[in-house]
Chains A and B, each alone.
Chain A
Amino acid sequence: MLVNQFLILGAVLFCIGVYGVLARRNGVLVLMSIELILNAVNINLIALGALQGPEAAVTGQVFSLFVITIAAAEVGVGLAIVLLIYRNRTTVDLDEVDLMKG
């Protein structure tokens, strides 16, 4: 069915995003990977909402609009943090940022 392809796309995007979050050291790239994960979720929301009928489709689309909005804000805050880290430590390598170590 049609939904499957969407879901598969979402899953692939999610996986790429997770990989990016876990494996990349560059903070900017991690933020971008998070965007990928969020977009994977958006695709899933819209696909599954369409599957449930017109009412649910609208709900799914509204949800994803929220997610896009929040993702934008999140990237704004995230990039600001990365920028500050860079300013303080002249690097955006996340391995170096372990000030929260217990």
Chain B
Amino acid sequence: MLENIWVVPGLTFASFWLILFFGKRLPKGGAEIGIAAVGLAFVLSSVAVVEWNDRPATEEVEAVSTGEHGEAEAHGSEPDAHEEAEDEHSFGEVRALAVDLAAAEAGEGEAGEHEAEPIRSAVERNLTWFSFGGVDITVGTAVDGLTVILLFTVTLISLLVHVFSTNYMHGDVRFTYFFAALSLFTTGMLLLVVSSSLLQALFGWELMGLCSFMLIGHWWEKKPNSDAAMKAFLTTRTGDIGLLVGLVIMFFAAGQTFDIAAVNEAALTGAMGETVLLVGASALFVGVIGKSAQFPLHTWLPDAMAGPTPVSALIHAATMVVAGVYLVARLYGVFWSAFDIEAGGVNPIAVIGGITVLIAAALAFVQTDIKKVLAYSTVSQLGYMVMALGVGAWTAAIFHLFTHAFFKGLLFLGAGSVSHAVHSFEMRDDMGGLRKFMPTTFVTFMIGSLALAGVFPLAGFWSKDEILLGAAENGYRLFEVVGLIGAFMTAAYMTRCVYLTFFGSYRGHGHPHESPPPITVPLIILAVFSVGAGLLNAPGFEKFFELTENRVFLLAGIEHHSFEIVPAVVSSVVVLAALALGGLLFFAGRLPRGVTARSRAARAGYRLLANKYYLDHLYTGVVVGSIKGPIARAAYWANQKVIDGVVNGVGVASTRAGLWVYRHIDQRVVDGAVNGAGFGAEGFGGILRTIQTGRVQQYGALLFGATAVLALGLVIFV
């Protein structure tokens, strides 16, 4: 299975085409194809996880000690071995041998510091896709722990979303298209995850962009929906400028290859120049900022709530936005050496992540739309993941990605279930007191919220804790504090959200009722995972770490920190404090009223938050507005008036010149010459006629005079 992993995205891709062409003729409108395909993909992914777990750890990798060139040189010979063995399935082992030799030569002095640990070697399979300019571009699959974990997560969430949608989207005008797009969306993420080359990953990446456009704008009859779709596509595409440039830089820096393993290797062994690496990594990170909705390009994600709720669940939990995090994790070698993450202190990734955590969490407080609360929460949690990657807590980041997928998927589907009952997303106006009407939804939503808040022993606790620990241990104290503040805010705004939705008295219309099984069953399954997923990396067990530990991880010499009791207690206390505060404010009704009316600072802060830091004004109004409005118009004006003006001017001028030439030269000079010949002859004749007096004697005189002159001439000259 690990070698034929291409089947997994292949299945969903086939499902897309089948639904597109035959979906409408089927009794369930194509949903059955989608569910069957994704279900099968889920089974195969599970098999892959098991197979990966059973795979013997054979590859031994020694950390590259940054700053010691001797060792870097020893590793410099690796790409050769890599190329020779490219076609063999077992080349991981060959490479491991090469590394062993290198380690034996150079690693003696430091053997004590980094022990060579055996890990499972990645399973790669590549085909030549095309070649040009003497370079073969390959496509293929590369499977390691990170891949199988994500495959499992993505297919599971996608399957549940499919099931959920059969009921939720029932009766929709474009039911079949919706399922086709879901399949394609899943394909995009799966393709990205299994890619062995960056170019191929770009395909998955952009495919998701396309599908998010189709799905966010699913109800495109309304302009705000299609606007949101365009915003999502264009914002991520703006980030993709960086991705494209970064990809190109990596291609050349790694010696004209898109192979991810080779790029990581080149970055870690110092084969890339420092500047190139820094520029390339920064450019790539811009792409990540766009896709993973990091500050300052996070604005599209809340707007993306215009799409159907299952889509939001899929986008937020398992695909699209985590693609950026996945890319950083996948290319960690590049970012690790480019930003010198090992050194601690401050680096751009951690800073962007940290800012995102805080600003998004703050925005979540002022939302009244339940999906928007969850959307900002996602932004904030993505910030967590990016920050984790920035502080060198690699395992923690993907662990958080893993657990977050379950509880965020749960929360979104729960919100969908609620809206199914009350036909609205407004917490203030249409919800409240729903715990009595929708017990299953309420319980599962509570579990999701607590998991998100990071309450022991739910999933979020373990992953969040690992991030905080990583920040502390790797010399990023500042970001540990940021993380704690973020955790506090998360717990507080989720309390508000839960209170407004499920407690108090019902403020909506009609009689809400519990949703049918296709909606509640996925909720229950996700709730189970939200409770249990965290235990995978519980102290003493650490299966998740063992599964995902890969070559890059070891080459870079990343430290993994096991559970420690003190920070865990600290964070738990913070979270509980937040819950208590939230409880005090909302449940006990001690919410101070009229703060914004009394305090100018509070009012200003509220306005800032309500306007989303004015970023949308900046982007939509200033940037897009000016490009689409004045700049485009100016360019077009220049086109019509200046360039075309020149052209038309040349045209008019030549016509004028022609006219002038015709009038003055043709009619006067040329024709004048012809006429002039006549006139000249006439005039000359006129002069001559004066001689012709008609007087014979004058003629005679002339005759004689002339004869005399001639005679004289004859005498003189002859």
A–B direct contact (CB < 8 Å): yes
Residues of A whose CB lies within 8 Å of any CB of B are 18, 21-23, 30, 94-95, 97-102
Contact of A101 among B693, B701, B704 (CB under 8 A): B693
Closest residue of chain B to A96 (Cβ to Cβ) is B695
In residues 679-695 of chain B, which contact A (Cβ within 8 Å)?
A: 688-695
Residues of B in contact, count (CB < 8 Å): 13
Q: Which B residues lie within 8 Å of A95 (CB)?
A: 695, 697
Residue B597 at the chain A interface, CB threshold 8 Å:
no
Residue B589 at the chain A interface, CB threshold 8 Å:
no
Is the beta-carbon distance between A18 and B694 smaller than 8 angstroms? no
Is the beta-carbon distance between A98 and B693 smaller than 8 angstroms? yes
Contact of B697 among A22, A99, A101 (CB under 8 A): A22
Given contacts A18-B704, A22-B704, contact A102 B689 (CB under 8 A): yes
Residue B700 at the chain A interface, CB threshold 8 Å:
yes
Residue B696 at the chain A interface, CB threshold 8 Å:
yes
Q: Which A residues lie within 8 Å of B690 (CB)?
A: 102
Is the beta-carbon distance between B697 and A21 smaller than 8 angstroms? yes
Q: Which A residues lie within 8 Å of B697 (CB)?
A: 21-23, 30, 94-95
Q: Which B residues lie within 8 Å of A22 (CB)?
A: 697, 700-701, 704
Is the beta-carbon distance between B696 and A97 smaller than 8 angstroms? yes
Q: What are 17 A-B pairs with beta-carbon distances under 8 A?
A: A22-B697, A30-B696, A94-B695, A94-B697, A95-B695, A97-B694, A97-B696, A98-B693, A98-B694, A98-B695, A99-B694, A100-B692, A100-B694, A101-B694, A102-B690, A102-B691, A102-B694
Give min CB distance, A40 to chain B, whole Å.
Answer: 14
Closest residue of chain A to B691 (Cβ to Cβ) is A102
Q: Which A residues lie within 8 Å of B695 (CB)?
A: 94-95, 97-98, 101
Q: How far is the CA of A99 from the CA of B690 in the complex (A)?
A: 14
Q: Which A residues lie within 8 Å of B693 (CB)?
A: 98, 101
Q: Which A residues lie within 8 Å of B692 (CB)?
A: 100-102
Q: How far is the CA of A100 from the CA of B694 in the complex (A)?
A: 4
Is the beta-carbon distance between B696 and A94 smaller than 8 angstroms? yes
Q: How far is the CA of A18 from the CA of B704 in the complex (A)?
A: 9
Give min CB distance, B217 to chain A, whole Å.
Answer: 100
Q: How far is the CA of A30 from the CA of B697 in the complex (A)?
A: 9
Give min CB distance, A84 to chain B, whole Å.
Answer: 15
Closest residue of chain A to B685 (Cβ to Cβ) is A102
Q: How far is the CA of A77 from the CA of B397 in the complex (A)?
A: 143
Q: Which A residues lie within 8 Å of B688 (CB)?
A: 102
Give min CB distance, A49 to chain B, whole Å.
Answer: 22
Q: How far is the CA of A7 from the CA of B463 in the complex (A)?
A: 153
Give min CB distance, B685 to chain A, whole Å.
Answer: 9
Q: Which A residues lie within 8 Å of B696 (CB)?
A: 30, 94, 97
Closest residue of chain B to A27 (Cβ to Cβ) is B696
Given A21-B697, A94-B696, A100-B694, output 5 extra A-B contacts at Cβ < 8 Å: A22-B701, A94-B695, A95-B695, A98-B693, A101-B693
Q: How far is the CA of A98 from the CA of B688 in the complex (A)?
A: 16
Q: Which B residues lie within 8 Å of A30 (CB)?
A: 696-697
Closest residue of chain B to A98 (Cβ to Cβ) is B694
Give min CB distance, A90 to chain B, whole Å.
Answer: 19
Q: Mark B222-256, 1 if CB is under 8 A from A, else 0.
A: 00000000000000000000000000000000000
Q: How far is the CA of A100 from the CA of B689 in the complex (A)?
A: 11
Give min CB distance, B700 to chain A, whole Å.
Answer: 6
Closest residue of chain B to A99 (Cβ to Cβ) is B694
Q: How far is the CA of A24 from the CA of B693 in the complex (A)?
A: 17
The CB with the most chain A CB atoms within 10 A, among B688, B689, B693, B696, is that of B696
Q: Which B residues lie within 8 Å of A101 (CB)?
A: 692-695
Q: Which B residues lie within 8 Å of A99 (CB)?
A: 694
Q: Which A residues lie within 8 Å of B701 (CB)?
A: 22
Give min CB distance, B564 to chain A, whole Å.
Answer: 134
Give min CB distance, A28 to chain B, whole Å.
Answer: 14
Q: Which A residues lie within 8 Å of B691 (CB)?
A: 102
Closest residue of chain B to A100 (Cβ to Cβ) is B694
Q: How far is the CA of A100 from the CA of B691 in the complex (A)?
A: 11
Q: Which B residues lie within 8 Å of A102 (CB)?
A: 688-692, 694
**Top 4 A-B pairs ranked by shortest CB distance?**
A102-B692, A101-B694, A98-B694, A102-B689
Give min CB distance, B684 to chain A, whole Å.
Answer: 13
Q: How far is the CA of A98 from the CA of B693 in the complex (A)?
A: 7
Q: How far is the CA of A94 from the CA of B688 in the complex (A)?
A: 22
Is the beta-carbon distance between A21 and B689 smaller than 8 angstroms? no
Give min CB distance, B696 to chain A, whole Å.
Answer: 6
In residues 346-380 of chain B, which contact A (Cβ within 8 Å)?
A: none
Contact of B700 among A21, A97, A98, A100 (CB under 8 A): A21
Q: How far is the CA of A21 from the CA of B704 in the complex (A)?
A: 11
Closest residue of chain B to A23 (Cβ to Cβ) is B697
Give min CB distance, A50 to chain B, whole Å.
Answer: 24
The CB with the most chain B CB atoms within 10 A, among A18, A94, A99, A102, is that of A102
Give min CB distance, B343 to chain A, whole Å.
Answer: 117
Give min CB distance, B709 to chain A, whole Å.
Answer: 15
Closest residue of chain A to B705 (Cβ to Cβ) is A22
Q: How far is the CA of A98 from the CA of B689 in the complex (A)?
A: 13
Q: Which B residues lie within 8 Å of A18 (CB)?
A: 704
In residues 515-565 of chain B, which contact A (Cβ within 8 Å)?
A: none
Give min CB distance, A83 to chain B, whole Å.
Answer: 16
Q: How far is the CA of A11 from the CA of B693 in the complex (A)?
A: 29
Give min CB distance, B123 to chain A, whole Å.
Answer: 119
Q: Which B residues lie within 8 Å of A94 (CB)?
A: 695-697
Q: How far is the CA of A99 from the CA of B693 in the complex (A)?
A: 9
Q: How far is the CA of A42 from the CA of B690 in the complex (A)?
A: 36
Give min CB distance, A38 to chain B, whole Å.
Answer: 14
Q: How far is the CA of A102 from the CA of B698 in the complex (A)?
A: 13
Q: Which A residues lie within 8 Å of B704 (CB)?
A: 18, 22
